[in-house]
């Protein structure tokens, strides 16, 4: 049972981000199959909410200078506009039009390409180049459509999703699934489930209910994930679930008049990565974080400050009291055995620690932290697995 719980603890940080986008997709699917056609007012509301979600996402991405989902969203809204335009112009015959068949070919192809784009800042010349490439691509598709040239070979005009487009959508979903399970980030999971929503939106595009509902739920998944992703990156460390370095900077403004800061550093951290690999290094960091939380009191703020460092805020304690608490953690970790991989031999890990308390002459918390850092570096220059006082 203990081994099962330990393995579950390793898995949960990677898969917990799946629940919100999965719930939205399940809710959209359930709603579509149990309800009849939406009334006009309901469809108009969902239609409006879709564009509102697009506006919110674009505004947030522009404000935070993030590029990862923006081209995905761009192709999504272009697809939605084009399908609605074609349905309005050609009625039920829109499926057989070259413009629709070409859209079914280009949309999943673009979504696959966007998965491999680097997560670079939005306000870069590269983003302008990608944007121009997207519009050039759709301009070419429009030219081909006017000349009745269809890129989606072997398609059936009787179904809304067939031929090469069907397999491209399958490839898109497979790529999204692999990417999201590898990264475990809420944004990648949201993009994957957004793709599932879009696939059903295309497949049931002859229904105005399905089109507006699934496209709206796709942008809803991305909008919620975007908010949570920004929050996590601002306040939470994605690897350990602890408060992040940014959180320490933000919280430091409200630290009490009397406190001590403890630093815990994993010994030989770089060698662990070289010997066991990056994934094992991350697993060990996560296990150490869990051990620190287990041995700390609920009122103690724990921050994952650097890759190999944790900072603990001890409120209303001097450095002597803090020293004893850090010593307890150091001894417990030194005597523990860490199973970083179920198929590998467990290993022993040690930590070094230091503590510094706030003095009246300290202008801010960073002076306290720097003093503790200096004590830690001085100690580690000649020894490891030691706790020191600044």
pLDDT of residue 77: 94
pLDDT of residue 13: 47
Q: How confident is the model at residue 1 (pLDDT cuts 50, 70, 90)?
A: very low
pTM of the model: 0.71
pLDDT of residue 36: 78
pLDDT (average), residues 80-97: 91
> Residue 211 pLDDT more than 50?
yes
Structure tokens at 290: 């869990």
Q: Three-state DSSP class for 285?
A: helix
Query: How far separated are the first and last CA of the chain, in Å rounded?
Result: 42
pLDDT of residue 337: 86
pLDDT (average), residues 148-157: 83
CA 233 to chain CA centroid, Å, is: 9
> Residue 12 pLDDT more than 70?
no
CA 79 to chain CA centroid, Å, is: 25
pLDDT of residue 15: 59
Helices (H), the chain: 2-15, 19-34, 40-64, 70-90, 98-115, 125-146, 163-183, 186-203, 208-235, 245-251, 269-276, 278-295, 319-335, 365-380
pLDDT of residue 261: 92
Give me the residue spans of the domains in the chain: 10-235, 243-389
pLDDT of residue 6: 41
CA 127 to chain CA centroid, Å, is: 21
Q: Which residue has the higher pLDDT, 66 or 80?
A: 80
47-70 residue pLDDT tens: 999 999 999 999 988 888 777 788
pLDDT of residue 14: 52
Residue-wise DSSP of 117-169: S---BSSSHHHHHHHHHHHHHHHHHHHHHHTT--SSTT--TTSSS-HHHHHHH
pLDDT of residue 127: 81
Contact 201, 210 (CB under 8 A): yes
Q: How confident is the model at residue 16 (pLDDT cuts 50, 70, 90)?
A: low
Q: What is the mean pLDDT of the chain?
A: 86
358-373 residue pLDDT tens: 988 888 888 999 999 9
pLDDT (average), residues 184-194: 88
Range scoring the smallest mean pLDDT among 56-60, 154-158, 209-213 = 154-158
pLDDT (average), residues 328-350: 85
CA 197 to chain CA centroid, Å, is: 19
> Residue 170 pLDDT more than 90?
yes
Of 116-120, 215-219, 283-287, 372-376, the range with the highest mean pLDDT is 215-219
pLDDT (average), residues 10-30: 78
pLDDT of residue 172: 93
Assign domain 243-389 one CATH number from 3.40.640.10, 3.40.50.300, 3.40.50.2300, 3.30.70.270.
3.30.70.270
CA distance 390 to 374: 8
> Residue 334 pLDDT more than 50?
yes
pLDDT (average), residues 70-88: 92
> Residue 3 pLDDT more than 80?
no
């Amino acid at each position: 049972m203990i081994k099962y719980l330990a393995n579950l603890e390793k898995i949960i940080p990677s898969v917990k981000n799946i629940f919100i986008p999965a719930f939205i997709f399940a809710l959209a699917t359930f709603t579509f199959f149990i309800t009849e056609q939406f009334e006009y007012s309901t469809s108009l509301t969902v239609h409006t909410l879709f564009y509102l979600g697009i506006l919110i996402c674009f505004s947030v991405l522009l404000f935070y200078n993030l590029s990862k989902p923006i081209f995905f969203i761009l192709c999504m809204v272009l697809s939605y506009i084009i399908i609605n335009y074609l349905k309005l112009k050609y009625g039920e015959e829109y499926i057989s039009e070259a413009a629709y068949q070409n859209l079914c070919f280009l949309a999943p192809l673009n979504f696959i390409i966007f998965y491999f784009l680097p997560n670079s800042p939005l306000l870069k010349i590269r983003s302008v180049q990608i944007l121009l490439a997207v519009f050039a691509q759709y301009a070419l598709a429009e030219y081909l459509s006017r000349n009745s040239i269809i890129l989606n070979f072997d398609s059936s005009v009787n179904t809304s999703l067939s031929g090469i487009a069907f397999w491209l959508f399958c490839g898109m979903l497979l790529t999204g699934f692999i990417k999201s399970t590898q990264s475990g980030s809420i944004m990648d999971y949201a993009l994957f489930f957004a793709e599932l929503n879009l696939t059903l939106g295309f497949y049931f595009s002859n229904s105005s209910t399905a089109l507006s509902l699934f496209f709206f739920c796709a942008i809803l998944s991305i909008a919620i994930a975007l908010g949570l992703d920004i929050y996590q990156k601002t306040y939470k460390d994605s690897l350990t679930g602890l408060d992040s370095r940014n959180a320490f900077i933000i919280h430091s403004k409200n630290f009490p008049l009397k406190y001590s800061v403890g630093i815990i550093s994993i010994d030989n951290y770089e060698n662990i990565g070289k010997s066991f690999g990056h994934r094992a290094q991350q697993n060990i960091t996560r296990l150490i974080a869990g051990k620190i939380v287990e041995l700390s009191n609920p009122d103690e703020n724990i921050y994952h400050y650097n890759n190999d460092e944790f900072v603990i805020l001890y409120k209303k304690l001097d450095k002597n009291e803090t020293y004893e608490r850090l010593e307890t953690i150091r001894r417990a970790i030194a005597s523990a055995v860490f199973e970083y991989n179920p198929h590998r031999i467990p290993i022993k890990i040690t930590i070094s620690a230091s503590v510094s308390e706030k003095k009246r002459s300290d202008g801010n918390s960073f002076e306290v932290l720097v003093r503790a850092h200096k004590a830690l570096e001085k100690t580690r220059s000649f020894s490891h697995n030691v706790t020191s006082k600044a």
